[in-house]
Structure 1
Amino acid sequence: MTAGSGGLTVEKYQTLGNCYLLLDPARNGMAGDELPALAVVRRLCDPHLGIGSDGLLVGPERRADGRFGLRILNSDGSRAEFSGNGSRIFARYLFDAGYAERRAGITVVAEDGGEVRLDAALMGASAEDPIATEMAAPLRIGPEAVGARPGHVAPNGDLFTVPALAEAGRGLFGRDDWTRSLLLSIGNPHCVTLVETMAALPSYDALRAAAPELARVADAPAPGEAPGTFARGTFARGCNLQWAFAESRTRLHLRIVERGEGPTLASGSSASAAAIAARHCGLVDRDLTVAMPGGDLPVRLAEDADGRLSIRLTAPVARIATCRLHGRAGQDAMVGI
């Protein structure tokens, strides 16, 4: 990766406490389809050695159809197939940087080469106004949709029990009710565990304390890795984990552990997956609010005449800083803001 002579420049944004850095290739003298090295991503996202972030957005890459390509990296350097909040932050940058006016079409390029297409709109004239994104979700349900390994999940009615997750619930949280999960993909994989009481939801702080152990369920296995407790390997590519409680037909409480990230205050794709799962089980309406530790996210689920699912998310996005890194990015970079 090459950067301009003035050092690598990135933008930092947040929505509902979910923060991303954005690296614009054109602004940094990079090719549009170029990605930074894994070590660079890890250094940038590290809260002590870098700037600190839940991930890195790389774009825009202009496409022939007028859409803007976006690539998403987790803070550990692994590829993320999709991010609802990351996509909305990217849309905010398109508006802020003058690439688009009030509306933009975005193509999110998945790790496997697939694409998630969405439309974004600025819902007002000021920087504090919400951004709305709407995508046609490539919804798939079942163990194959999330790359669950044979024998690592068990049918439980019309849902599934994930033994490694159930074991983590008992061993880490003293819960024996993490046994009813819907496995689904909306461009990235999700395991949504539905619980019947608010008390069954783990707190954000408790998830952070248990993050290393839960990563062994959520993250993809490393080559030659020893199994250990709550062994990796349930999901071949890793899987985002959610715990959801439906307070009412219009309000769903959610906790999140993302693969490659750990516990997060909010996630647009996790909120979408949880809303779909709760709707699938008849617990919520199509218009609902998903309450996360970082804040509330309005979600609207709809189907067209052909039965294709669309998801609309609306929330403010705030620009935090423009950051320039000096030195060899990813090795001895010093951060100046």
Structure 2
Amino acid sequence: MNLRFTKMHGLGNDFVVIDAVNQSVALSPDQVRWLADRHRGIGCDQLLLVEPASDSAADFRYRIYNADGGEVEQCGNGARCFMRFVHDQGLTDRRALTVQTLGGPIELQLEDDGQVTVDMGPPRLEPAAIPFQAPARASVYPIEVDGQEYRIGALSMGNPHAVLTVEDIERTPVAELGPRIEHHPRFPNRVNVGFMQILASNHIRLRVHERGAGETCACGTGACAAVVAGRLQGRLDERVRVSLPGGDLVISWPGENASVFMTGPAVSVFEGTIPL
């Protein structure tokens, strides 16, 4: 079988996007890992499937697989690429869509300048909803890693996030500390780990170690989580520019019980077919 795909990226967070509306697709974890392999396959941080909606209230179903083969709940950069993909491939001409994800429905809007705004829904802040083991909700939680205590924000944007505020993002040992927090026993489903440096109340820098993928050039849900964590701690404005290694996103969050909005680019790189 020859599988048609499109390679895309959102600020360097790269994806293999597959139309599962017009072709039959059933991928095993081993096949996902092979397709994501940068030496033996196509190469990507995540593989995205575009499927018909199973809910009449949605336009499409959006499935996300990390490079390790595991299916995950949400991916903000992938959601922007999803919107551009369904337009570029002629699957819809609507500029506003409701899309099913494993983490719940999201709303997508294609802007006049080609950027995409994603209504990510309200953050989930209760520890059980993240999930995270803690006796009660707090804006900051102490967590011990290798005998040292760190203070994190913890929340879900449809997928779990831990956010650490650091003084110097360049000198932070993301490659060492990220995996240790990802697999911390207080996060039963593992966790994405954001390292945030606050430059001003409306501008932060961010590096993200993504669960099952490692550090990526950009993480949309991680950018949302960092802004929510910073606002809960009283340190950030409602609208914040988030500078990631791959470029900038704009994140807006009015506050408690409100949706988080993310705006940024999505780019198609090339199309092809690969035998399975």
Aligned to 2:186: 234
Aligned to 2:121: 136
Alignment pair present for 1:272 and 2:224: yes
Please report how far the alpha carbon of residue 82 of structure 1 lies from its aligned counterpart in structure 2 after TM superposition: 0.6
Aligned to 1:227: none
Aligned to 1:14: 9
Alignment pair present for 1:218 and 2:182: yes
Aligned to 2:97: 105
Please report how far the alpha carbon of residue 107 of structure 1 lies from its aligned counterpart in structure 2 after TM superposition: 2.3
Query: Which of 97, 106, 111 lines up with 1:117 in the alignment?
Result: 106
Aligned length: 275
Moved over 3 A (4+): none
3-state DSSP class of the match of 2:259?
strand
- Whether contact under 8 Å (1:297, 1:314) holds in the other structure is yes
Query: Which of 131, 137, 144 lines up with 1:147 in the alignment?
Result: 131
Aligned to 1:180: 151
Pairs within 5 Å for 1:24-43: 24-30=19-25, 35-43=26-34
Aligned to 1:207: 174
Alignment pair present for 1:94 and 2:52: no
In structure 2, how many angstroms separate the alpha carbons of the residues matched to 1:192 and 1:66?
A: 31
Alignment pair present for 1:320 and 2:269: yes
CA spacing shift, 1:136–1:234, aligned 2, 3 Å: closer
Gaps of 5+ in 2: none
Query: Which of 189, 194, 197 lines up with 1:245 in the alignment?
Result: 197
- Whether contact under 8 Å (1:44, 1:50) holds in the other structure is yes
Aligned to 1:223: none
Alignment pair present for 1:311 and 2:263: no
- 1:275-323 superposed Cα distances (whole Å, 9 cap, x missing partner): 00011111111111001111111111135xxx53212211121101112
In structure 1, how many angstroms separate the alpha carbons of the residues matched to 2:219 and 2:121?
A: 18
The one-letter code sitting in structure 2 at the alignment partner of 1:218 is E
- Whether contact under 8 Å (1:183, 1:192) holds in the other structure is yes
TM-score, normalised with respect to structure 1: 0.75
3-state DSSP class of the match of 1:180?
strand
Aligned to 1:58: 49
How large is the Cα RMSD of the aligned pairs?
A: 2.4
Aligned to 1:47: 38
Identity rate, percent: 28
- Whether contact under 8 Å (1:140, 1:184) holds in the other structure is yes
Please report how far the alpha carbon of residue 251 of structure 1 lies from its aligned counterpart in structure 2 after TM superposition: 0.2
CA spacing shift, 1:160–1:46, aligned 2, 3 Å: same
TM-score, normalised with respect to structure 2: 0.90
CA spacing shift, 1:323–1:203, aligned 2, 3 Å: farther
- Whether contact under 8 Å (2:57, 2:98) holds in the other structure is no
Pairs within 5 Å for 1:162-181: 162-164=143-145, 167=146, 179-181=150-152
3-state DSSP class of the match of 1:41?
helix
In structure 2, how many angstroms separate the alpha carbons of the residues matched to 1:144 and 1:98?
A: 40
Pairs within 5 Å for 1:182-201: 182-195=153-166, 197=167, 199=168, 201=169
3-state DSSP class of the match of 2:105?
strand
